[in-house]
Structure 1
Amino acid sequence: MNKVFWSKLFNHEETLPLIFISHNSKNSNYGDIIKALLIGVGLQNHQLIYTSSSTNGIPVGNNIYDFLQKGLSSKPIVLFLLSPEYFSSVV
């Protein structure tokens, strides 16, 4: 199902998406559920940026801002997990 699902969604097998889950760490329980759903429908771990996960987060030794800038420069799909905690966090 994974390649069929994503290729139909994006019209190409080669154009598999990169997805960034933007969230407040206090809401990581919701992010964990979304991550599991995306992996369950066939997204691969290397296609997901989710900083609350050791599998999909910032690799040890990398600067968070450099890592995110590089990831965001590839124009990912961004899922915003909006919550009071998200809006009250300092940017």
Structure 2
Amino acid sequence: MPFEAVLAQNEISGERRAALNLVLGAVLSRARGQEPQVVRAKPMIELFPVLSLAQANGGIDLAEAIRLVAEVVGSQALAFEVLKAHKGSGFGEDGYEALGL
């Protein structure tokens, strides 16, 4: 299922969608061996503390990626579906390959 369809079907929008995009970006950066972009917007970090965890330096594996995304979307099953849909829509293929997805 395309990424946008997964988000719409699961009513992921607004600040939650923004947080998801930030977590996905951090996950992909870490998977590529890069430092993730740091979010400094305190209101977002207060609403979604997982952003601080996602921005940690160092590598990441698929299990941690799923756990971080699940903090935003609500379950590990949905997190895995979101990650697959994101990859399937052509986003961050090299990062997903590094994660083993």
Could you tell me the TM-score, scaled by structure 1's length?
A: 0.35
- Which is richer in helix? 2
- Which is richer in strand? 1
Could you tell me the TM-score, scaled by structure 2's length?
A: 0.33
